[in-house]
Amino acid sequence: MSGEKDTLKIIDETIKSIQGIPNILETAKEELVNIRNVKAQLEDEKSQLEREKTQLELDKKKLEAETKQLEKDKQERDQKIGQMTEEQMRLLEEYAKVKEELGKFAKIAAEMEEHELSFERIQALLSIYSVLLEKIFQGQPHFRILHVLHGQKEEMTRDDIKNTTGIQGAMVLRAVQELDRVDLVEYNIDTSTAKLKKRLFPKPAEKA
């Protein structure tokens, strides 16, 4: 009898175990589904992070390129400022020389008013005036540009003036703008063209 009881007990326990298997399987299924969902979410987050990383790398490259361009622009501006400063200093020196020579010329002219005109004095005055034109004014951008525009072509572009006179571009622009202000030259900003507005001496005859 005891053997039968043991057998029945084992059977009951086996039945209970078998009855619990569906619950175990259902729980395992739910856990598997949760794991898959978590995995999918992690994959999405990983993809998002990779996209953000790629975008950050692109932004970094763009920022580096913009930084290099800004540095290049700054260097170019610094170079232009340096060139303009050198040109301004040279112009100031040239204008100082012109002022000095004009002072000498004015002094001689004043002396001539107090003395009787003579051939020697006129000759001396003309000599100084000639030196003033050839040695001083001829070296000035304004004089050289006016001299060129008094030739066969009364209208020239800035590049033509630059190539003809050898004057630097910035100095050409400054000179034609100043000549425009005193109504000797008409400067067109849109076309970068300078046109002689007031002729100071006759146009030279064309060569046959």
| Residue spans of the chain under pLDDT 50 | 136
Please tell me the distance from the alpha carbon of residue 121 to that of residue 97, in angstroms, as a whole number. 23
Q: Residue 111's pLDDT is what?
A: 58
Q: Residue 66's pLDDT is what?
A: 87
Name the architecture of domain 140-201.
Orthogonal Bundle (1.10)
Nearest Cα to 156, choosing from 193, 187, 192? 193
Q: Residue 194's pLDDT is what?
A: 93
Contact at 8 Å (CB) between 156 and 149? yes
Q: Residue 192's pLDDT is what?
A: 92
Please tell me the distance from the alpha carbon of residue 14 to that of residue 8, in angstroms, as a whole number. 10
- Report helix angle 158-165 to 169-181, nearest 10: 110
Domain boundaries, the chain: 140-201
Residue 192 falls in which region: left (phi positive, over 0), alpha (psi -120 to 50) or beta: left
Q: Residue 199's pLDDT is what?
A: 74
CA distances from residue 108 to 123, 132, 145 in whole angstroms, order as listed? 12, 13, 28
pTM passes above 0.85: no
SS3 18: helix
